[in-house]
């Protein structure tokens, strides 16, 4: 009697600990990690596997407690055919749990798996369906001691899986809502950065926080007929769909007003009146710049926003603080905003950014501005190119755990020394990687690049193109640039699927995970840019020594 009470107490304690762990789980990855970690604390459990239904039940994502699959750095999922002859697949197809008290019974049903389980030291196996009103997945446990699976034990495992199923349902709902919000956010970003003669552009965008609300940040680059270029970055105060609606309306209005007259003395009062007329009564901050046709100067205006950062090719960066003005939406007087003219020389960079880059809950704005300026000053001139500048600054904020949206856009004056470049569109099939290798190799060879760098570029672009085809199902675009100092290669997909993939979804043993690992190892820097069309992953190869602060 006492032994039975002790077992019952242990079971209750396990369920309480599981409930606590699942209570903190937000994402599907959180649920999988909490469930597997808790399962390993059950008596005699030596291995556990977790599966999630995908593709309308035709397949499922699987992760186990193997050391190389479940690590502190992430979860390595693999995809399994739900029609395969596996215990978890059977649970997913039927919604039932299957109990194997000994390996003989298991081997009679799954002879092909017998040696694998015997090699793991397994004595008993159970495959438990995870379901609410529908089958969501399965949980498989392997035991190193013989289990009888008494009615009481089966009831305990059913209670265990009931908790996991409810948490998984919440995680899947979060994943769906988060994906929808992120796609909405990205649809409000530029479709892509334009390719401009004499100017090089770069951007960074990361939605903030673990919530599902779409943020209020946006950026835009608009070339005008007279050769000037409008660059803007704004932030609607607030989050969620209302902020996204205001963001869309303000961005569209800014483009329309800029086409009529880009002069900030004219545009900002118009935009202020338009914003004030919206029923939402939300304020908008804005950093706005117009680069002159000759690219030797820019007119900068700020409306309640952190000042743009001017980064000379050589020398210390400085903030353009001469332009001041209140946020948009207050309906103030026309002369409230003052514009500042900034001289630009070849190699100079102008950076516009959101407050999420310089201000966090524990970091005041003034201190954040000072830190960012110092960080930029410490970069070598080669590392101040707009793509790497935005990526380095944005990813530094990621490491601080900031929950705010982080957005940046930068432009660098290249003048008459624009790099050699070529672009191509590829088809979405297995031939894409080979076509990308040939395209990059042919162009780099014609530009006189040495064979070793060319081969490295071909290897990296092959992996990224394969990754793009697998994860988006679209034909990627490849651009290669060479400026005698470095090679820059960009691979752009056109699919929304990659927009919402979580970092944990990368599988180190499949082609996408291996691709990123190779690019990380072989390139001098690499990162990704998100836009409305999809994602652009870029990498650089140079002859300089490896940078200890490499972007990744």
Domain spans of the chain, in order of start: 2-182, 190-413, 420-542
The confidence score (pLDDT) of residue 132 equals 92
**Residue 379 Ramachandran class (φ > 0 left, ψ -120 to 50 alpha, else beta):** beta
According to the model, what pLDDT value does residue 365 have? 85
The architecture in CATH of the region 2-182 reads 2-Layer Sandwich (3.30)
Relative orientation angle of helices 151-187 and 28-39, to the nearest 10 degrees: 160
pTM over cut 0.75: no
Low pLDDT (below 50) residues in the chain: 1-2, 212, 496-514, 544-549
Are the beta carbons of 228 and 291 closer than 8 angstroms?
A: yes
The radius of gyration computed from the CA coordinates of the chain, to the nearest angstrom, equals 27
Question: 103: which residues sit within 8 A by CB, 6+ positions away?
Answer: 114, 117, 118, 122, 123, 124, 125
Q: What is the pLDDT of residue 495?
A: 63
DSSP label at 112? G
Q: Quick one: which H or E segment has residue 341? A: strand 340-343
> What's residue 486's pLDDT?
84
Residue 444 Cα distances to 464, 476, 546, angstroms: 18, 19, 22
CATH code of 190-413, in short, is 3.60.40.10
420-542 belongs to CATH 3.30.565.10: yes
pLDDT > 90 fraction of the chain, expressed in percent and rounded: 51
Query: CA–CA separation, 261 vs 258, rounded Å?
Result: 5
Instruction: Measure Cα distances from 61 to 6, 94, 139, 161, 350 in Å.
Output: 36, 17, 12, 17, 44
pLDDT of residue 293: 92
Residues 6+ apart with CB under 8 A from 402: 208, 356, 360
Q: Write down the pLDDT at residue 259.
A: 96
């Amino acid at each position: 009697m006492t032994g039975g009470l002790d077992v019952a107490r242990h079971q209750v304690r396990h369920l309480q600990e599981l409930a606590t762990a699942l209570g903190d789980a937000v994402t599907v990855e959180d649920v999988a990690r909490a469930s597997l970690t808790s399962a390993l604390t059950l008596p005699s459990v030596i291995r556990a596997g977790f599966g999630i239904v995908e593709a309308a039940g035709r397949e499922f994502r699987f992760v186990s407690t193997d050391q190389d699959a479940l690590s502190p750095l992430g979860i390595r999922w693999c995809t399994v055919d739900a029609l395969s002859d596996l215990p978890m697949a059977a649970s997913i197809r039927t919604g039932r749990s299957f109990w194997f008290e000994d390996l003989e019974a298991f081997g009679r049903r799954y002879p092909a798996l017998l040696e694998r389980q015997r090699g793991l030291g397994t004595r008993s196996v159970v495959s438990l369906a995870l379901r609410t009103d529908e089958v969501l997945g399965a949980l498989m446990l392997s035991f190193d001691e013989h289990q009888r699976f008494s009615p009481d034990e089966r009831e305990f495992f059913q209670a265990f899986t009931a908790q996991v199923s409810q948490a998984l349902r919440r995680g899947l709902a979060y994943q769906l809502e988060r994906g929808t919000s992120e796609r909405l956010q990205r649809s409000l970003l530029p479709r892509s950065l334009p390719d401009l003669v004499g100017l090089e552009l770069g951007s960074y965008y990361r939605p903030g926080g673990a919530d599902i609300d779409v943020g209020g940040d946006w950026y835009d680059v608009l070339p005008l007929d007279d050769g000037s270029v409008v660059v803007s970055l704004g932030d609607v105060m607030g989050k969620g769909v209302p902020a996204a609606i205001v963001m869309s309306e303000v961005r569209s209005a800014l483009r329309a007003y800029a086409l009529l007259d880009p002069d900030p003395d004219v545009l900002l009062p118009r935009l202020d009146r338009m914003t004030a007329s919206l029923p939402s009564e939300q304020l908008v901050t804005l950093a706005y710049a117009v680069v002159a046709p000759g690219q030797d100067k820019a007119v900068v205006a700020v409306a309640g926003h952190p000042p743009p950062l001017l980064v000379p090719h050589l020398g210390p960066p400085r903030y353009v603080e001469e332009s001041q003005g209140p946020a948009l939406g207050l309906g103030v007087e026309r002369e409230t905003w003052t514009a500042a003219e900034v001289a630009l020389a070849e190699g100079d960079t102008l950076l516009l950014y959101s407050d999420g880059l310089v201000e966090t809950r524990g970091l005041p704005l003034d201190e954040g501005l000072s830190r960012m300026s110092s960080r930029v000053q410490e970069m070598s001139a080669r590392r101040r190119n707009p793509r790497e500048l935005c990526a380095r600054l944005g990813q530094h904020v990621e490491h601080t755990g900031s929950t705010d949206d982080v957005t940046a856009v930068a432009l660098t004056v290249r003048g008459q020394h624009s790099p050699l470049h070529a672009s191509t569109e590829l088809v979405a099939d297995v031939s894409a990687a080979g076509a990308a290798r040939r395209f990059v190799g042919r162009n780099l060879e014609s530009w006189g690049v040495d064979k070793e760098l060319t081969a490295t570029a071909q290897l990296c672009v092959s992996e990224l193109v394969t990754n793009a085809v697998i994860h988006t199902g679209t034909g990627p675009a490849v651009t290669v640039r060479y400026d005698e100092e470095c090679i820059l290669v960009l691979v752009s997909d056109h699919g929304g699927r990659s927009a919402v993939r979580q970092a944990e979804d990368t599988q180190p043993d499949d082609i996408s995970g291996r691709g990123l690992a190779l690019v990380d190892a072989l390139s001098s820097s690499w990162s990704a840019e998100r836009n409305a069309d999809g994602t652009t992953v870029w990498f650089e190869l140079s002859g300089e020594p490896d940078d200890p602060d490499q972007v990744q």
